[in-house]
Amino acid sequence: MIGWWPAAGALLGLIVGSFLATVAIRWPQGRSVATGRSRCDTCRRPLGVRELVPLLSFVVQQGRCRTCGARIDWRHPAIELAAAIVGVAAFVVVPGLFGLVGAVFGWALLLLAILDVEHHWLPDRLTFPLILAGLLASLTPLPPPAADRLIGAAAGFTMLWLIATGYRLVRGREGMGGGDPKLMAAIGAWIGWALLPTVLLLASLVGLGAVLTARLRGRTVLATTRLPLGALLAVAAYPAWLVMVGTLR
């Protein structure tokens, strides 16, 4: 029976990923994510049910609209696939319904990472509920305990707030967005205080790797170049949660 959970996580991830892609594309444009039929971005034709099957429709249609032949936004299949991977990972580490708790954490981080990469935006309407959800997750058998989560939320916010404040005082300009400390608080609420330094270190290493890759590709990277710290934290936080839960359960 356990073997079915990863498959369920993949299927559920594809469905959730389709919704996340819609949110990631529509929300920054000020469009409703709850109303209005899905349409081709080019010819504006409403899409049928067969054209909305996550990932499969994109493959069958070879990435193009059936009517006008325009390319379908690559973010749709990419986000659907990423969400499916998150679902599989969560249910592999935590088979059963409690795996859904971890999957929700991963899907929220995925959406926040996308918004941060594309728009340098970590909306409070996502980070605040994620903090609350992390604290409420202490009601499940999943680690860490409630006290560690509370301390983690407070320490996560304080850690990045102090760094941002110190940078502003020393350099005389903003070096970090206001959403980053709130995301770190959410991460702390999910993984506890003990792993926060590890997450920050991993995020820094991933960021350094991204900078080096950009330089090798000939892109100019300056001291003022903005990096999506929230996305880096999200990329580091979810594997940390998977390892923590897999080790302690």
For the segment 126-178, what is each residue's pLDDT rounded down to a tens digit? Answer: 999 999 999 999 999 999 999 999 999 999 999 999 999 998 898 888 888 89
pLDDT over 90 (residue 195): yes
Percent of the chain with pLDDT over 90: 76
pLDDT over 70 (residue 2): no
* Integer CA distances (angstroms), 202 to 119, 206, 209, 238, 239, in order: 22, 6, 11, 11, 10
pLDDT over 70 (residue 230): yes
Tell me what pLDDT residue 126 has.
Answer: 98
The total of other beta-carbon atoms located within 10 Å of residue 139's CB is 9
Tell me what pLDDT residue 174 has.
Answer: 85
Tell me what pLDDT residue 167 has.
Answer: 87
pLDDT over 90 (residue 224): no
Q: pTM for this structure?
A: 0.95
